[in-house]
Chain A
């Protein structure tokens, strides 16, 4: 509850800071403070200290799972601000507004991670989506940004409509929005329930850009200002997955045998399309867009499996993937040329950027001793434990091997090819933060249980 209330308040505060201060440094300072406050209060709430005693009538449940994810999301956003905060200023004049929108997104994230009725799910998803439509189009004079924004908006509205329809149908069958009520029963699937379930599944698949509902992703990620792509591809996508798994675990889990195969097929398609298409990209930014689809395919394993290992794994995946991707994007933003050739020879004059970027890429590829390895490990383990879907596991590891191809192309460009990569103002502080994240990625890669234990007992 702390996070929801505070992030909403802080968003409003951010909106008004631009009235009082035109100094971007101040705005950024307030935003970073806000994120720190959110993170701390969220951790306090994990330990049972709640500032706002609101009777939510069972519409929300603040369990470890959601709170831990909140902490990860806030920490990732904080890192994002520390790394790329200065680049937000380059997008346009309304820095304070962008920050405010990001806080509203975070409010939606906090709702989506703790909803217990379908209504709150809908609210959370919408609160996340609407600010994103605006952020995507933040670069007002850029045609691509405008196109991306409109495309995102139209497709997003459509999927929201599907979700509402699904919720309505399920309400028609079960007579309640409450997930516990929906989860009751013997798992029998009436036609109307099946239709509702399908519509919900499709709309959620759209939000997390799973194939074949992924077509908006590359265009939107490519068109949006790169700073905001970084945010959308990490925190927001992870939040979508948390909502996804919450929905399926708490309400539709009893019907798992009915939808498991369908979700497995969606997973397979996502993995396949994401990885194969990423191979053919020439721009690193677009490659990362497809790689985010591919990574989404791996996160879908959690929904296929839906067991303890999957919950632990999804939390871990969210952290590992967000940290690494935010890092890569932060470096990408500093580059003059977004193609693979633009990275040629970066290791020569920016060894720190190249080395940290390598660690992030290795993590995304799932090489041991990085956090990404455990993320993939838990996903595979969850699927193996669930049984029935070993074909999916084999497909998954083959796709992981394909992913090595495009991640390593960046490493090859940086280290083994000659060229003069152009980058802009990489300050010592920026490098310091990068090294810090890389250290966290490696430490989590060696001791993953530091994070996963937090699901069960706190500090």
Chain B
């Protein structure tokens, strides 16, 4: 099953290069992404454990194999990836691109890379997919992005490439420390205790790679520019799924592999996360461009996840798991709204918009729900995640400063309410102006995906238990690897 998740988008992506007709390549991409979604849902529900793992020798001399598998965390993220792509394709159905075959082919290839990252159980394979997810996105942004796309994407690419190369060094070093000279994740977990100095710089190398991807302050500078300049479909991939690669990487390849260092130095990244949350929230308040607003808001949310990981507790980890999924869903919805507004009005500037709720009531209602989720109000999915994370940080025994972290971090939630509602007020309420007077309500396909997302938000917000159960196992093993007693 994990193999199918990689192979289907990969093959259909390669085929899509050859389909020159716009309509048919769109349908083909949608079809492929729906098949992936179905498989990821099946992976979630299957009882047969042997379907979830697959191991094929790849580089026997080197001790690396094509080892893929799905655990709770992987399942949830594959589901998120599976949901994202059909949603993206449907929501942007009416957009037309130059050379549509290349566009959709690259989209599918990036999906294959993302799936690969989430199922890889071998460090080298993980690195492989980590990069493979990046290359198509580079081409997508550079070819179909906004005005300043070339320098911006270039910065993004080099930034993340530096990070991944540093990660490669750490992976190679760890490989030589493994008892059986193997890249498999079990061997990495079995690495004997290393000296604190060695652990420290390994921690720095790995952390940099994941921090750039997430992004954690002060490694975030690529992100707002890239989100702004990318075509919205790609921004959705980047922010809904790709930044989760960073969180996922920390959870699978950093914290369990270097538990002592993570415990010892946890306060430093946690401080960065808290600073980043506040900083991003303040910057978000000053933004006029909707895309930049959500970009900074996203940094704040990712910061909270980082905080909950580095000030660990059972509850907080559980929150991270579920919030990875929730944040993906919410941000996807917000980007769709941005895309709709931009397509109709030709602008993303809040100061030029206003009174849209009168003209597009359905969009208004759906957006308010999304905004509430962004602020993490009760009954929305984000409330569950953020509450668990804050409660976890607050009660964590891992750090001396957990009270301060939790309290300061919570300020950013208040700030997020400020900028989110400010945005709603400016864009949707108030009087219409010459630009928004001619606005129409949204089309059926857009209504469909947005309401599907909203339903998901509320469903998880009211009844999160199934999702929590899936990730419980992953959280338990993670916590036991970190050797920290439940608070």
Contacts and interface: CB of A to CB of B under 8 A. Distances in A.
Contact of A401 (B142, B149, B161, B176): B161
Contact of B131 (A368, A385, A405): A368
A404 B132 contact: no
Given A368-B128, A449-B62, A416 B142 contact: yes
Contacts of A449: 59-62
A398 B162 contact: yes
Contacts, number: 67
B165 interface: yes
Interface stretch (A82-90, A329-337, A376-384): A376-384
A397 interface: yes
Nearest to B145: A416
B263 interface: no
Contacts of A452: 61
Contact of A368 (B59, B127, B149, B175): B127
A374 to B, nearest CB: 9
B142 A415 contact: yes
B59 A448 contact: yes
B157 interface: yes
Chain B interface residue bracket vs A? 20 to 34
Nearest to B173: A384
B131 A377 contact: no
Contacts of B132: 368-369
Contacts of A401: 158, 161-162, 165
Contacts of A381: 172, 175-176
A400 B150 CA distance: 20
Nearest to A417: B150
A447 B132 CA distance: 16
A384 B176 contact: yes
Interface in B326-350: none
Contact of B150 (A368, A385, A394, A412): A412
Nearest to B165: A397
Q: Which of A377, A385, A401, A404 has the most CB of B within 10 A?
A: A401
Interface in B95-154: 127-128, 131-132, 135, 139, 142-143, 149-150, 154
Contacts of B175: 381
A175 to B, nearest CB: 40
A397 B61 CA distance: 24
Interface in B154-208: 154, 157-158, 161-162, 165-166, 168-169, 172-173, 175-176
Interface residues of A, number: 28
A393 interface: yes
A380 B168 contact: yes
A367 interface: yes
A417 B149 CA distance: 11
A408 B62 CA distance: 30
Nearest to B166: A397
Nearest to B142: A416
Nearest to A408: B154
B139 A415 contact: yes
B430 to A, nearest CB: 40
B169 A394 contact: yes
A40 B339 CA distance: 60
Contacts of A453: 61
A390 B172 CA distance: 11
Contact of A394 (B131, B154, B161, B166): B166
Q: Which of A377, A390, A397 has the most CB of B within 10 A?
A: A397
A149 to B, nearest CB: 38
A123 B135 CA distance: 46
Contacts of B165: 397-398, 400-401
Contact of A416 (B60, B150, B176): B150
Given A367-B131, A385-B176, A415 B168 contact: no
A26 B166 CA distance: 52
A449 B161 CA distance: 25
A362 B132 CA distance: 12
Interface in B32-71: 58-62
B230 to A, nearest CB: 13
Contact of B169 (A367, A393, A404): A393
A385 B181 CA distance: 12
Given A384-B172, A384-B173, A404 B131 contact: no
Contacts of B59: 447-449
A397 B165 CA distance: 6
Contacts of B58: 447
B143 A416 contact: yes
Contacts of B131: 367-369
Contacts of A369: 128, 131-132
Interface of B: 58-62, 127-128, 131-132, 135, 139, 142-143, 149-150, 154, 157-158, 161-162, 165-166, 168-169, 172-173, 175-176
20 contacts: A368-B127, A368-B131, A369-B131, A377-B168, A380-B172, A397-B162, A397-B165, A397-B169, A401-B158, A401-B161, A401-B162, A405-B154, A405-B158, A408-B154, A412-B154, A416-B142, A416-B143, A417-B150, A447-B59, A449-B62
The 3 A-B residue pairs with the shortest CB-CB distance in the complex, in nearest-first order: A397-B165, A368-B131, A401-B162
Given A369-B132, A400-B165, A408-B157, 14 more contacts: A362-B135, A377-B168, A380-B172, A384-B169, A390-B169, A393-B169, A394-B166, A394-B169, A404-B157, A415-B139, A417-B150, A447-B59, A449-B60, A453-B61
